[in-house]
Structures are given as C-alpha cells and as structure tokens.
C-alpha cells in the first residue's frame, strides 16, 4: 500500500500545475492533503473521483485557510472529521480514515511563525494532538500519522541549524516534542530508510531557496513501529507547492 502526504498550499493552485497528472502517474492508494485552502464546492471533485478515489474534505470554517483531505482508492470503514478540539476543528486540521488493517490520520500542525500567539496555539496543538493520538492508538495499533508537522526534528532536517536555532519550527521545545512523539511508538518512515543529509520537504518561495536546496524537512509519515516499511521517499522534483510530497510503501 502506497501513501502520499502533501501540503499542496492551495489545491486549486496545485491543480493548475498538473497535480491531477501527478496523482495519476504515482497512483497512490491513499493521499493525505494539507492546506487545501478551499471548500468542497470550489474543488473539481470529479477529477479525483475519475482516478478512482473516494474523497473526504475537511475545510476550515475560515475561507481560503488551512483545511485537510484524505483521498483513498479503498472505501474506509469510517472517516472521522476533527480531533475533538473547538479551535483546531474550526481550522480544519485533522481528518482520520479507518480501514480494516490500518488507520490513517492526516494532520496540519499550526505554524508558529507569525508571532507569539500562534506559537502558543502550536504548543497547545502539540499537547492536545499527542494525547488524542495516544488514545486513538489504543484501539488502532496500526496507526499511520501523515502530515505537515511544521517541525524539523534534528539538525540534519534543516539546511542551517545554527542560524535557525531561534526559529519557530526548530525550537528546542518543538524538537523535544518530536523526540517524545517517536519514542511513543512511531517510526519516521522517511528517515528510517533515507539517512543522507540535505533532504527536505519545504523551501521558502523567496531568494531561490528551492533551486539552492535551502530547505526544511517538516512533513512526515509516522508509522506505528509494528508496521514494516517497505520503501519511502520524497517527490522533491515535482513542484505544485512550496512543499513537496512524501510517500511510504507498507
């Protein structure tokens, strides 16, 4: 089973850059999308259904902002919208699809780069999401948590760890949360099979960051440690967003 996670930074903009063709070519079984920035009525749903996907959209209540989705070739047993939190559900950050053998969570963690208030929101999300997923894992041991975590775990995950030591996304508290997260029973499916440096999933649009590979690795597919990871990688050459997609085969 192949799963892709992708922060598309606006699904309508991504579609203009042939995102549909990309999906057709890669043919994943499950697709987790973040920052769709659209409501279902604004999305050409049929384009995805034609490829064979059951589509589940979870938009923010705020137009043009955030929003996540799961596309899947197999119809899930059930889909859960949200994470039992008023603000994070208002912002459309978490959607979960349960299958016979796996449960897939798609999450868009808040950014803390726009100031102290949003950094506090991010910390609140980290706390809440940790407890929420731990509880979920009790009844869904084969849990896979895909998404834009907005955190670089280790120095190898960011092009300049020294100059970014005070940057939101690479703060000690955030990195400690990632330690705790993986220790709780998840594997970083990309890093487990790709130990080389200079592999990122996000680049600033500014100052030629992508061309010069000055990026951050902030998108992850965390797989429950009892699951076998057959292969994993990123789509750093396919450009539909300021992020690239990541994939895992299990």
CB of 106 to DNA, least distance (A): 15
- Can you give the binding site for DNA, defined by CB under 7 A? 7, 9-13, 35, 37-38, 42, 63-66, 110-111, 113-114, 118, 148, 150, 168-169, 202, 204-207, 216, 218, 242
Say if residues 125 and 137 touch (Cβ distance below 8 Å). no
How many angstroms separate the CA atoms of 198 and 186, rounded? Answer: 23
Cβ proximity to DNA, 114 vs 134, nearer residue: 114
Residues 6+ apart with CB under 8 A from 221: 3, 5, 144, 145, 146, 189, 190, 232, 246, 247, 248
Nearest CA to 78 among 104, 59, 53?
Answer: 104
The question of whether 188 is a catalytic residue gets the answer no
Smallest distance from DNA to CB 44, Å: 12
Residue with the two structure tokens 């990632």? 178
CA dist 41 → 12, 108, 123 (Å)? 12, 21, 32
Whichever of 67 and 82 has its CB closer to DNA, that residue is: 67
Question: Which of 47, 127, 148, 188 is flagged as catalytic?
Answer: 148
Q: How far is the CB of 179 from DNA (least distance, A)?
A: 18
Q: Which is nearer to DNA, 13 or 249 (CB)?
A: 13
CB of 65 or CB of 182, closer to DNA = 65
Residue 34 CB, shortest distance to DNA, in Å, is: 8
Q: Which residues are catalytic?
A: 148
């Amino acid at each position: 089973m192949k799963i892709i996670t992708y922060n598309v930074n606006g699904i309508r903009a991504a579609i203009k850059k042939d995102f549909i063709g990309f999906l057709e070519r890669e043919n994943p079984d499950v697709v987790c999308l973040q920052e769709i920035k659209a409501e279902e009525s604004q999305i050409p749903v049929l384009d995805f259904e034609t490829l064979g996907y059951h589509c589940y959209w979870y938009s923010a209540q705020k137009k043009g902002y955030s929003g996540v989705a799961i596309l899947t070739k197999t119809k899930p047993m059930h889909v859960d919208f949200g994470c039992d939190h008023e603000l994070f559900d208002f912002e459309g950050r978490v959607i979960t699809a349960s299958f016979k053998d796996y449960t897939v969570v798609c999450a868009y963690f808040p950014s803390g780069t726009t100031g102290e208030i949003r950094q506090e929101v991010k910390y609140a999300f980290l706390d809440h999401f940790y407890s929420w997923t731990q509880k979920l894992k009790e009844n869904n041991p084969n849990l896979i948590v895909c998404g834009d975590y907005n955190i670089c775990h280790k120095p190898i995950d960011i092009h300049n760890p020294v100059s970014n030591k005070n940057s939101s996304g690479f703060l000690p508290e955030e990195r400690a949360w990632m330690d705790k997260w993986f220790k709780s029973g998840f594997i970083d499916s990309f890093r487990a099979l790709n130990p080389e440096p200079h592999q990122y999933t996000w680049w600033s649009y500014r100052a030629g960051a992508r061309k010069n590979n000055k990026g951050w690795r902030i998108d992850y597919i965390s797989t429950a440690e009892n699951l076998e990871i057959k292969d994993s990688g990123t789509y750093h050459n396919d450009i539909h967003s300021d992020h690239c997609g990541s994939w895992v085969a299990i």
